[in-house]
Structure 1
Amino acid sequence: MGSRSHQAPISKRCLQRAAVEGRCCVSLARFGEDVSFSTEYALSCHRSAYLEMLKSETILAGLLAADRGRIELVGADITDLPPWSRDIGLVFQNYALFPHLTIRQNVRFGLDMRGITGREAEERVDEALGMVGLDPGLQRRPAELSGGQQQRVAIARVIAIRPRLLLLDEPLSNLDAVLRNKVRLELRELHDRTGITTIMVTHDQSEALATGDRIAIMEGGRLLQYDSPEEIYRNPATASVAGFIGSPPANLLAVSAVGPDVWHLPDGQSWRAIPGLSPAALSVPPGSNCLIALRPEHLSFGETAPGGIRARIAAVEFTGGDRLVHFAIGQSRLTLRMPATSPLPTGPETFLFPSAEHPLLFDASSGLRLRKPIH
């Protein structure tokens, strides 16, 4: 029952004029076979490359033609097929429900367009509504539903046609925080039940980490990294990815190597790092400018000791089970995550101690990873 989609290198040159900066995650949930995702060109649009392709004018769904390359779905070339022949379901960010139709009529719409009527159509509508947790007997119209219910109707409408590929364009962005978390879990469970290969575009990296089997991260229309959530979190390919993925994301500390054992920090202090984080240990020659990515959970604090970075407490956030302690090092800010039950530093200044187990080092100019991960 597995399904697979393959995105061959494609481009849309007319979109390049509207390129802007901004990061975006494309979360891919798959069933059975792998999903591949590649791009040869800088695909640009008003927010990110693949975001445009998953909106109403999407290339992947066939509403915009690619200038070059091809799109394959389950081994079949669908590049030149019209949208209605691609067997792809698209859920829009704004739901796109027909306000004059009842819930059942909305869900049945795609079936009507395909000439599927009668008992089979009614059974598919019942099945789709049941899968998204809605009463099949609902006779209300979209305006009478909550945002979460409207989102479920939009998803049910797509499920009813049983597509080989499901595209979700920021499906949670219009929901409040509590409902967003609930529907996020429902989307993951729905995928596991249906087995439909799914591509979801989101600007919320937490959504991508929670829902995706693989994630493609775009910035300014370029593909930065494509991998599993765990691999992207542990081994980001660029400083931009490290500073984007995670809640909160990794701290990026600018450092300059001034010797085999010493880094120069933004506030002017010299940091004699512990052996695993020294310039020599990371194969960085003197004079090099780098960025060290430090995950909040890989930082600790304490009294002055070798390997510590002098820092000032700027703010403390209580988040329930944890506290986020924000430290200032000159104009730089580092965030530390700690259990809410643990004592805070006693004075305005303390020393931070990064873990040497997961060093993430990047070139300051290019942002590219300088060293393969240490296992």
Structure 2
Amino acid sequence: MILRDGKIPLLIQAISSKTGRRAWGGPSLPLPELFQASGTDRTAFDAVRNNYLQSTTTQPVDLDRDGHPELLQTLWLFGQRFPEPRGLAPVEHQQEFLALIDGRNGSLRWVEPVTELLGGNGYLRNSNAQAQVDASADLNADGTLDIVVVVPTQDAQGWWTGTLQVRNGRDGKPLWPAQPIDGKWNDARGLKRPLIGDLDGDGRPEIVLYETIQPQLRTLRGDTGESLWTWKATQNLSPNSIVPGVVLVTQSSPVAPRQESRTPKDVDREADVVEATDANSAPGNSFRGARRLRCVAVTINETGNQWELVLLDHEGKVVERVPYGTNQLWSHDLDGDGGEELLRYEGTKLTVSRGLHDVLWTWTRPASDYGWVSRFDRASDGR
């Protein structure tokens, strides 16, 4: 439903966990000019009144890091506009937006389009393919977390492609021009969420993209979008191929020695966290006296017969590649020390390690049981 002031209400409510009562209702968002009524008369208003706004994803964030959460939402606007003269069929339009809402009172901080206004009564993008949003890192060192968005687009033949957008958390404006993600997929789920992390320990996050048709990992500077390195597989794969696992993992010993083998000197060094002194590093990002380097682990099946696990260092050089029984792997900071462990599940065995060989522990599922592996955060510090 369109309001007469040229805005459309966002139909969400916040409910108090203490009282169960309504805390606030959603704000009204300004419409693109095309959808605004051209006059105050009822006929002009009726021409656009069938438009509506659909929330596709909602996530709590604290972009300004003031301890008070905001809501980051992706929104689809569906609209119809009757052409002039009246009597002809209405023309359908769609557009996707990114909006930040103050969690305390429901006021709109900002709203920005992430797609062009798509129009025509032919083929329009399927809104069920949601943009993937990550707001976990301060990329431009201004003290505010920034937003990495992958926007999927489907062509007339049904193939999916993606575009990478990086936006300033302060106002939602682009930090640098959008970049296409190389390759295409037969399913929007083939678009993998980018990895974001400080690979080289300099206090500035990088962005790692997985791309096809020739599988490759491309690493960009988070603040400028400048390409740092690209690693390519040796064989082209079909867009129908199984999507591999790609994770960041802390480089193993001696940078992050396993808990059981740490000496008092190691403990003292890890307790001595110093602020990054690089003038270009983000405020609040810190690294230890010995830089904590991160690797990129990716599963790949180039022969069609055998999966491999490839470990790349922070410069994109192959550290090691070993046979692997599946395309699945995960990484997470299980012990809360600031570095990710690698989780692998092959057959009935779950292995947790730093790097490929520094095994912390294993668990084997009884052969008579059936199950799968999932992860959840048990403690407030992420363990």
Normalising to structure 1: TM-score of the pair? 0.27
Which has the bigger relative contact order, CA under 8 A and spacing at least 6?
Answer: 1
Larger strand percent: 2
Larger helix percent: 1
